[in-house]
Amino acid sequence: MTGSIIKQLSAETGAVFSELLLPAEYGKVITSTRDGGAPFQCNGCMAAAKQAGQPPRVLAEKIQQKLQNSPLFASVEVAGPGFLNLTPSAELIQSQANRLAEDPRTGAAVTNDPKKIVIDFGGPNVAKPMHVGHLRSSVIGDSLQRLLRFYGHEVISDIHLGDWGLQMGQLITELELEQPDLCYFDPDFTGPWPTEPPVTIHDLARMYPAASAACKADLERMEKARSATAMLQAGHPGYRALLDHFIAVSITALKKDFSALGVHFDLWKGEAAVHPLIGPMVEKFKQDGFAESSDGALIIKVSEETDKKELPPLILVSSAKAALYATTDLATILDRRDNIAPDIILYVVDLGQSSHFEQVFRAAAKTGIFPKERLEHIKFGTVNGTDGKRFRTRSGGTMRLSDLLAQANDAALARMAEAGIAADLCEDERKDIARMVGLAAIKFADLKNVRTTNYVFDLERFTSFEGKTGPYLLYAAVRMKSILRKAKDQGIVSGRIDPKETTETELVLLLDDFDRALESAVSHRAPHILCEHVYDLAQGFSRFYSNCQVLAAKDSQTTASRLRLVETSLQQLETGLELLGIETPDRM
Ligand code: ARG
């Protein structure tokens, strides 16, 4: 039997329940919550007592009898009403330590049920500035894509750009006002369309807020933008050529931002890409009787009797004859179903869009496009400023990703200078370290929270080298690397792990817990569970290192064993951080 200690003990205990003709699941072993006692426990006797027709304590004693001779346990004790407190044997801990050390995955299992999973990100909108909500989506979504892949699933990530809404009509009309002579606005021009874009990303960044403000202030202007949007959606060739330019210009800029963030997408598709599917899809919904008219619009009813709050119908086509956000999302499901055939689609989008996704998922199920239980909204909360309100720039605008990264970088440099970190390294290396520290700070501060909660954006706290922060973890990894470098310089090699001290055994048990943390993080789509693990590991390592001499241990065998523990800890810490999208420097 291989697998983590917890899995091995569960199997052994489960087999004893089976022997007593009780379901093996009652044998499930968990990490003990009490400090100082046995590291594991099994609470199954309480649950099984009724079925066994015996008081839980009696059942627990029976199981204890049978387990006592197993080589996996050092001790099995019955406590309280019928808990089993379990301590693994020294042999088991030792052999497991060496198994982890030899495994490049340091014990993390791979799924036996691999799936094809599409991850849809809360795609930034073309021309509109990206805000911290988009940052959360990319940080969480990226960690999920790494976690799911590492666990053995096939993942296709799609940025899912917002490139099809009213903002496009607003931009087109804005450009027409600024440069009416462009060929895109000439009704007699038939192409070919220029390959050079008529605008830069800076033009777009300036034009969109101007257009949006003008439309808000002036109804006539808004009408123009609406009608340009409708013409674009109806296939106006000049407008379509413009849209393609806007998208291309935005993608180039976004690629730069996202690569600075270390986030990569397999697909750079957007809402516009599925436009051709919308007409036939809507027709089919009409024919099949799923779509109905209501006040000039076409809707799909999605409310259910059991709803506590009434869910409004999904609007497929507005009274102004425009396809809306939900329509595109339905067409996108259709596109993915036919071209990718995923088992599951995850949408990493803020929780403010919960009703939208509930409508879309119900409509997808109702119309038979895709089963609802294979569509998941991976919700997350907002990022707030220290004033408790939604995070904004000092002047009240939305913060751009590039500015945010620059700020994190500056904060990291300041913190490093304060703590004397990387002080003796050359300028270039120090800068590169600050980049990694800044990114680690932002990403870890985001990922460590249960994703549905809101958090306060506080660079001062995020960049601290103490506490539960990204920089603390980088520092821990660098410390391990430095021990290994010293060992190499002194010609010391690692050997078989033979844990003797309590802090060594505890470190092995922590390392062994990676498997559980990974499985739990994957099944709950919850990177914070992995954050907990890497943080616990770094702390466990720190306790070990302050208790146990490594390079100057009492004999060479102990040194070799401890060195191997350092190597394994580093391997796992770096793997864990990589799954969070966090890069570690070699030194600081
Ligand atoms: N572009 C949208 C926004 O900025 C997010 C898109 C999320 N993904 C989706 N399939 N609806 O709010």
In this predicted model, what pLDDT tens digit does every residue of 4-55 receive, in sequence order? Answer: 999 999 999 999 999 999 999 999 999 997 777 899 999 999 999 999 999 9
Contact between 147 and 375 under an 8 Å Cβ cutoff? The reply is no
1 has pLDDT over 60: no
Ligand 1 centroid to residue 285 C-alpha, Å: 23
Ligand 1 centroid to residue 272 C-alpha, Å: 13
pLDDT digits (tens, 9 = 90+) for 124-181: 888 776 777 788 999 999 999 999 999 999 999 999 998 888 889 999 999 999 999 9
Ligand 1 centroid to residue 349 C-alpha, Å: 7
Ligand 1 centroid to residue 161 C-alpha, Å: 7
- ω into residue 192 within 30 of 0, thus cis? yes
Q: What is the CATH number of the domain that holds 463?
A: 1.10.730.10
Q: Are residues 82 and 173 in the same domain?
A: no
Ligand 1 centroid to residue 524 C-alpha, Å: 22
Ligand 1 centroid to residue 465 C-alpha, Å: 35
Q: Which ligand 1 atom is at minimum distance from the Cα of 356?
A: 11
pLDDT digits (tens, 9 = 90+) for 81-108: 999 999 999 999 999 999 999 999 999 9
403 has pLDDT over 90: no
pLDDT digits (tens, 9 = 90+) for 464-520: 999 999 999 999 999 999 999 999 999 999 999 999 999 999 999 999 999 999 999
- And the tokens for 526? 């919850």
Single residue among 68, 88, 108 that ends a domain in this structure:
88
HSE (side-chain half, CA atoms, 13 Å) at 202: 0
In a domain, 490, yes or no: yes
Q: For position 129, what pLDDT does the model report?
A: 66
Q: Which residues line ligand 1 (CB under 6 A)?
A: 120, 122-123, 125, 160, 162, 329, 347, 349
| Atom 8 of ligand 1, residue of closest alpha carbon | 122
Q: Would you put residue 3 in left (φ > 0), alpha (ψ -120 to 50) or beta?
A: left
| Atom 4 of ligand 1, residue of closest alpha carbon | 124
Q: For position 370, what pLDDT does the model report?
A: 98
Name the burial class of residue 378, with classes exposed (0-12), middle (13-18) and buried (19+) by CB atoms within 10 angstroms of its CB. buried
Which H helix or E strand runs over 562?
Answer: helix 556-579
pLDDT digits (tens, 9 = 90+) for 214-234: 999 999 999 999 999 989 988
In a domain, 563, yes or no: yes
| Atom 11 of ligand 1, residue of closest alpha carbon | 329
Residue 122 pLDDT grade (very low, low, confident, very high; cuts 50, 70, 90): confident
Single residue among 88, 105, 138 that ends a domain in this structure:
88
Region 336-364: what's the mean pLDDT? 97
DSSP annotation string for 75-91? EEEEETTTEEEEEE-HH
Q: For position 35, what pLDDT does the model report?
A: 74
319 has pLDDT over 90: no
Single residue among 209, 236, 252 that ends a domain in this structure:
252
Q: For position 166, what pLDDT does the model report?
A: 86
3-state helix, strand, coil in the chain (%, to 5): 55, 10, 35
Q: For position 394, what pLDDT does the model report?
A: 64
In a domain, 33, yes or no: yes
* Residue to mutate, 134, 349, 361, ligand 1, most ligand atoms under 8 Å from C-beta: 349
In a domain, 432, yes or no: yes
- And the tokens for 574? 């770096």
Top pLDDT among 370 and 386 is at 370
In a domain, 227, yes or no: yes
Ligand 1 centroid to residue 70 C-alpha, Å: 55
312 has pLDDT over 60: yes
Q: Are residues 83 and 182 in the same domain?
A: no
Q: Which ligand 1 atom is at minimum distance from the Cα of 349?
A: 7
Q: For position 169, what pLDDT does the model report?
A: 93
In a domain, 381, yes or no: no
Ligand 1 centroid to residue 133 C-alpha, Å: 10
Residues ≥6 apart with Cβ < 8 Å to 411: 438, 441, 459, 460, 462, 463
Ligand 1 centroid to residue 195 C-alpha, Å: 28
In a domain, 289, yes or no: no
Number of Cβ atoms within 10 Å of the Cβ of 258: 22
Q: Which ligand 1 atom is at minimum distance from the Cα of 360?
A: 11
Top pLDDT among 113 and 125 is at 113
Residue environment code for 499-517, b if the CB has 16+ CB neighbours within 10 A, otherwise e? beeebbbbbbbbbbbbbbb
In a domain, 331, yes or no: no
Q: Are residues 80 and 178 in the same domain?
A: no
Residue numbers of the domain that contains 522: 425-450+458-579
Ligand 1 centroid to residue 162 C-alpha, Å: 6
398 has pLDDT over 80: no
569 has pLDDT over 60: yes
Q: For position 320, what pLDDT does the model report?
A: 78
Q: For position 376, what pLDDT does the model report?
A: 98
* Residue to mutate, 160, 168, 250, 346, ligand 1, most ligand atoms under 8 Å from C-beta: 160
Q: Are residues 446 and 572 in the same domain?
A: yes
Ligand 1 centroid to residue 480 C-alpha, Å: 41
Q: Which ligand 1 atom is at minimum distance from the Cα of 125?
A: 1
Q: What is the CATH number of the domain that holds 52?
A: 3.30.1360.70
Q: For position 395, what pLDDT does the model report?
A: 63
Q: For position 396, what pLDDT does the model report?
A: 61
Ligand 1 centroid to residue 526 C-alpha, Å: 20
Ligand 1 centroid to residue 353 C-alpha, Å: 9
Q: What is the mean pLDDT of the chain?
A: 94
Ligand 1 centroid to residue 122 C-alpha, Å: 4
Share of the chain above pLDDT 90, in %: 86
* Distance in angstroms (rounded) separating the CA atoms of residues 544 and 509: 12
User: Distances in Å between the alpha carbon of 507 and those of 113, 500, 539?
Assistant: 30, 11, 9
402 has pLDDT over 60: yes
Q: Which ligand 1 atom is at minimum distance from the Cα of 329?
A: 10
Q: Are residues 440 and 548 in the same domain?
A: yes
Q: Report the domain count for the chain.
A: 3
* Distance in angstroms (rounded) separating the CA atoms of residues 364 and 362: 5
* Distance in angstroms (rounded) separating the CA atoms of residues 296 and 147: 46
Region 191-213: what's the mean pLDDT? 91
* Residue to mutate, 353, 355, 357, 359, ligand 1, most ligand atoms under 8 Å from C-beta: 353
Q: Which ligand 1 atom is at minimum distance from the Cα of 357?
A: 11
Closest C-alpha to 529, from 233, 118, 151: 151
